[in-house]
Amino acid sequence: MSEQRPAHRRSGGERVNRPSRPGRAERRGTTSGMVRDKAIDPVRATARDVLRAVRERDAYANLLLPKLLRERRITGRDAALATELTYGTARAQGVLDAIIAAAAGRAVADIDGPVLDVLRLGAYQLLRTRIGSHAAVSTSVDLIRSEAGQGPAGFCNAVLRKISQRDEDLWIDELAPSMADDLIGNMAFRYAHPRWIAQVFFDALGGSAGQLQAALAADDARPPVHLVARPGLISAEELAAISGGDEGRWSPYCVYLPGGDPGDLEPIREGLAGVQDEGSQLVARAVEVAPIDGDDGGRWLDLCAGPGGKAALLGALADIDGARLDAVEVSEHRAELIRKVTGDFPVTVYVADGRDSGLEPGYDRILLDAPCSGLGSLRRRPEARWRRTPADVTELVVLQRELLTAALRLVRPGGVVIYSTCSPHPAETTEVVAAVCAQTGAEQLDARALVSVDGREVPGLGDGPHVQLWPHLHGTDAMFLAALRRG
């Protein structure tokens, strides 16, 4: 039997209730097959398991963690801690690896994967949380010992003790490229981003070092949860009152959730509301409010609709306006998610390639929320920044251009196409739009007008005509949108 340890206090002073019993696998030493007598912390074991799945089989931390928490009945403060440790470690991986390599005196590629996962988790606690050194080191050593035995546990102990001798700033000062030689590289390291992504942000921000620093810092922090109140079903005011949140600054449907699991809220469970970044809400709303020539015949299209967040908001707006939305998605699985989330709204889902959908042209309004690198929502996808490569972008740009060209074939003359990405990368945004406009003769409308609500202008949008939102300026994901009209 495993020994039950009493509830104890973490360094931050908060009381932490130990979950009732660790799972069987956690009580068993997997290398020796022996049952060991020392219990390991289920919260950290869960974080470790997610980090391992991310490393070994490209799992998505934000999909796997909630599932494991449910299965292991980890709730409340323990769930919050597991989330902080898992996502925080995944986000900071690059900088943690550099520090681990320096402390271990060897490249992380030469450290066994399962040991490296725990070292990352331990280093994160030491450098980026208020958890005391003793707890951070001993829980990590326990995790390794329970699986791999005494030798690797001793190595982990030595490396983490060495890391604990300095704080993060001192490590960064030692290991980051110097500001004088490589300002972007220094900031990228400091705020845990690959250098190429920091360079993309720098370019998209017009070469401002101050803006870059703010953008990277915002991306390196825990993201807020935004809810969408689906119009016609519930108002943002009602949703704010029920959830205890505040109404959003920009979107008339947005509520900022102060904490807790959105899945516990009745309006979410009943489909009256959903979880959706405020920037995405503005994009969906822009499709409805964009000016078109002539009457709106009520034929609307979402050409890349899965998993359906924007289609649900557009479907709700279509219902109010007496329009119908066709939603196209290439993946059957994602098409099913659209069907679920659009429920009773006037939405028809098609599984098809948007480049050759077979749909009848003549749409009044089209949303092309193109598949993209996702560099604008890195704070919500903890491991994504370390997975993406510049080559991904090159491939995506070709698809984005083809899809936008197809959207312009499907819209009627005088109708509007909203092109959006959850990326600020100029190659995926302004360059795609410029190339397709030049090729097709489409003209750009001033999209800035489409995101101002009741005369409240969104600041920091520059000269237009496109809109680029940023976490550090607007509190949203870095959504891009452009409005194109076919001549």
Ligand X SMILES: C[S@@+](CC[C@H](N)C(=O)[O-])C[C@H]1O[C@@H](n2cnc3c(N)ncnc32)[C@H](O)[C@@H]1O
Which residues participate in catalysis according to the annotation? 422
User: For residues 87 and 15, what is the distance between their CA atoms, to the nearest angstrom?
Assistant: 22
**Phi/psi at 337 (nearest 5 deg)?**
-65, -35
Check whether 426 is labelled as a binding-site residue: no
Among 82, 115, 156, 328, binds ligand X (CB under 6 A): 328
Residue 351: strand, helix, or coil: strand
CB of 303 to ligand X, least distance (A): 6
Distance of CA 408 to the CA centre of its chain: 29
For the chain, how many residues are written? 487
If binding is defined by CB under 6 A, does position 308 make contact with ligand X? yes
**Among 48-56, 129-137, 246-254, 299-307, which window interacts with ligand X (CB under 6 A)?**
299-307
CB of 61 to ligand X, least distance (A): 19
If binding is defined by CB under 6 A, does position 192 make contact with ligand X? no
Token pair for residue 159? 């490396």
Q: How many CB atoms lie within 10 A of CB 387?
A: 14
Does residue 114 have a cis peptide bond before it, meaning omega lies within 30 degrees of 0? no
User: For residues 199 and 190, what is the distance between their CA atoms, to the nearest angstrom?
Assistant: 14
If binding is defined by CB under 6 A, does position 52 make contact with ligand X? no
| HSE-up of residue 229 (Cα within 13 Å, Cβ side) | 24
User: For residues 292 and 312, what is the distance between their CA atoms, to the nearest angstrom?
Assistant: 22
Interface of this chain with ligand X, residues 261 to 280, rule: CB under 6 A: 280
What b/e string do you get for 124-135 counting C-beta neighbours within 10 Å, with b at 16 or more? bbbbbbebbbeb
**Among 5-13, 26-34, 351-359, 383-391, which window interacts with ligand X (CB under 6 A)?**
351-359
Interface of this chain with ligand X, residues 60 to 89, rule: CB under 6 A: none
Return the number of the residue (89 or 276) whose C-beta is nearest ligand X.
Answer: 276
Return the number of the residue (310 or 379) whose C-beta is nearest ligand X.
Answer: 310
If binding is defined by CB under 6 A, does position 334 make contact with ligand X? yes
**Phi/psi at 255 (nearest 5 deg)?**
-130, 135
CB of 354 to ligand X, least distance (A): 3
Return the number of the residue (306 or 382) whose C-beta is nearest ligand X.
Answer: 306
Whether 177 contacts 192, CB under 8 Å: no
If binding is defined by CB under 6 A, does position 310 make contact with ligand X? yes
Check whether 369 is labelled as a binding-site residue: yes
If binding is defined by CB under 6 A, does position 309 make contact with ligand X? yes
Burial status of residue 291 (CB atoms within 10 A of its CB: 0-12, 13-18, 19 or more): exposed
Among 30, 165, 178, 331, binds ligand X (CB under 6 A): 331
If binding is defined by CB under 6 A, does position 353 make contact with ligand X? yes
Return the number of the residue (86 or 281) whose C-beta is nearest ligand X.
Answer: 281
- Binding residues, as ranges, are 304-310, 329, 353, 369
Binding stretches for ligand X (CB under 6 A): 280, 304-310, 328-331, 334, 353-355, 369, 371
